[in-house]
Structure 1
Amino acid sequence: MSRILITGAAGAVGTLIRPRLARADRTLRLLDIAPLEPMELQQEIGTVELIQASVTDLAAMEQACAGVDAVIHLGGHSLEAPWRDILDVNVHGTYTVFEAARRAGVSRVVFASSNHAVGFRAPDEYPLTAATPPLPDTYYGVSKVAGEALGALYHHRYGLDVICIRIMTCFAEPPNPRALSTWLSPDDCARLLEACLAVPSPGYRIVYGVSPNTRGGWVSLDEARALGYEPVDDAEKYAAAVLAAHGEPPADDPVFAYLGGQFTFPELDADRL
């Protein structure tokens, strides 16, 4: 695909995947509410188009979607926030992206969902699959369930190809012992996105975004591999350093009680936000 719109391009995942999706024959149209400076992008190959706009602005999103082959929707709050903020940016903003894509004739949307859509699933249910019913752990997780539902609506009613990626822990390196099981390397993230862009007529899919970690097995990679995803990275190469820095977690560490980890802790109860 020759022109791709990436929302949330200045965010943590957007910053990691931009250079990895760049191609000499591809235009990346980068959109974020935060400014993106051309000098930051000078090492990225291919053509870059910059748009400063909010995903909640339908007119701006229609303009941004004009002439693109696919949208990778990363924009929105990436952590828990008060309901009014989640509703406006993550839920309404995701509706706006789908609706703008439909109006502009874009045929494919790749939606960055999250493991927090099923964050209250417990280890006795692992590995979770695309068929595992939602069980969100936060308002943030609820917004990802809503985004998946919007994707289903826009596929079945309007024919858009929609792939929802339940992204696990996407950082340059695993940040803590839990991430030794949930890490999605930036390179594997780019491999998964390329598979989502290249697979013919995917229809509507939900897949998990994770690397094939030695300590993994919490979620299924079958649905992602069915798209052509071929992950190669393993968090185990960082295990010694991570455990030296953080210590070996006890077997009853509550961060392992549910897939959502700390997102299930009382500190994120609504009355504390």
Structure 2
Amino acid sequence: MVTQRVLITGGAGQVATLLRPRLVRPGRVLRLLDVRPPAEHPPTGGTAAPAEEIVSGSVTDLDAMVEACRDVDAIVHLGGQSREAGVEEVLRLNAYGTYCVLEAARRAGVRRVVLASSNHAAGFQGRDLAPDGDLPAAVPARPDTLYGWSKVAVEAAGQLYADRFGLDVICLRIGLWFPTPPGLRGLAMWLSPDDGARLVEACLATTGRGFRMVWGISRNTRRWWSLAEGEEIGYFPRDDAEEYAAQLVAEHGEPDFVGDPVLNRVGGQWCDVPLGESY
């Protein structure tokens, strides 16, 4: 018997591939929407058989999104453009694509939507705003790229649909969601695969209402972004990038999270990428 159906957009993408085996639960069905088929389900490490439904479609196709939302309890919106690109591409896939997701949710009666935003929506914010290591998740937007600008539009659309239509929207300003921390910046901003799943589970389970913003990071020793907003929805990360510190320092040198602009700005080196050029 199906007790919960979760629609994941971008179901064939890197993050969804990390997430899928970690969301397997008895009675839960993952409906995966993407323009390409997802890889075979990764091993779960247990005996539970994955329950997945594959839907071919784009987040920019409103009719397809409405159909994909049929009988869905919640949406995890991971689809879109994940890198810096030309303005038409990032706005079509991220801004308009998110509109289609939210509008489809409204039409289909789906109340809970989790939106994948990005640290690059606030990329030019700096550590000077968080001397005690607690930069708020809802720090005002300061995008570092056209991609970051498109994620500000994602967040604003989520706020609109929460305020006007009563959807419960949680925006995740994701740090670096990778199997291991990618470079020194990851010592502060890493989101481990297991903590990523814990974060999504908290978003699906919380009883809070309205619009919320949460940093998507692990419990990293060198973090300077707040975990308070995540804890408010039941997200308690367990992993720490410090496990990889010795290896990263040996490879890249001792990090300076105060004086190095790559490390003391939210968006890091993306702040220096020419607009429209892929990093």
TM-score w.r.t. length of structure 2: 0.92
Task: State the secondary structure of the residue aligned to 2:244.
Answer: helix
Deviation, structure 1 residue 82: 0.4
Instruction: Say whether 1:222 aligns with 2:228.
Output: yes
Q: State which drifts further: 44-53 or 69-78.
A: 44-53
Secondary structure class of the residue paired with 1:205: strand
1:152 to 144, 156, 159: 159
Query: Identity over aligned residues, as a percent?
Result: 55
SS at match of 1:60: helix
Aligned to 1:14: 16
Aligned-partner Cα distance in 2 for 1:69–1:202: 15
Task: Read off the aligned partner of 2:173 and give its amino acid letter.
Answer: R
Of 167, 184, 188, the residue aligned with 1:181 is 188
Q: Which residue of 2 aligns with 1:163?
A: 170
Counterpart contact for 2:208–2:233, Cα < 8 Å:
no
Q: Which moved more, 1:40-49 or 1:73-82?
A: 40-49
Shift in Å, 1:35: 1.6
Paired residue total: 268
Q: Distance in 1 between matches of 2:275 and 2:60?
A: 26
Q: Is the 8 A contact 1:163 1:202 kept in 2?
A: no
* Corresponding residue of 1:43: 43
Contact 1:119–1:135 (CA under 8 A) maintained in structure 2:
yes
Once the 2 structures are TM-superposed, how far is the Cα of residue 240 of structure 1 from its aligned partner?
1.0
d(CA) in 1 for partners of 2:42, 2:81: 27
CA distance in structure 2 between the aligned counterparts of 1:198 and 1:80, rounded to whole angstroms:
32
Spell out the pairing of 1:1-273 with structure 2 (5 A cutoff).
2-37=4-39, 40-41=40-41, 43-44=43-44, 45-126=49-130, 127-216=134-223, 218-249=224-255, 252-265=259-272, 267-270=273-276
SS in 2 for 1:93: helix
- Matched to 2:179, the amino acid is A
Unaligned runs of 5+ in 1: none
Bigger Cα displacement from structure 2, 248-257 vs 152-161: 248-257
Deviation at residue 46 of structure 1 after TM alignment = 3.1
**TM-score (normalised: structure 1):** 0.93
SS at match of 2:162: helix
Displacement after TM superposition at 1:131 (Å): 3.6
Q: Secondary structure at the match of 1:268?
A: coil
Structure 1 residue 13: deviation in Å? 1.0
**Greater helix content:** 1
Tell me how far 1:49 sits from its aligned partner: 0.3
Residues 73-102 of structure 1: per-residue CA shift (max 9 Å, x gap):
000111111001011101100000000111
Q: Report the Cα offset of residue 246 of structure 1.
A: 2.7
Q: Is the 8 A contact 1:113 1:164 kept in 2?
A: yes
Query: Residues 142 and 42 of structure 1: is their aligned pair in 2 closer, same or farther, counting only changes over 3 Å?
Result: closer
Equivalent pair of 1:25/1:46 in contact (CA under 8 Å): no
- Aligned partners of 2:43 and 2:179: how far apart in 1? 18
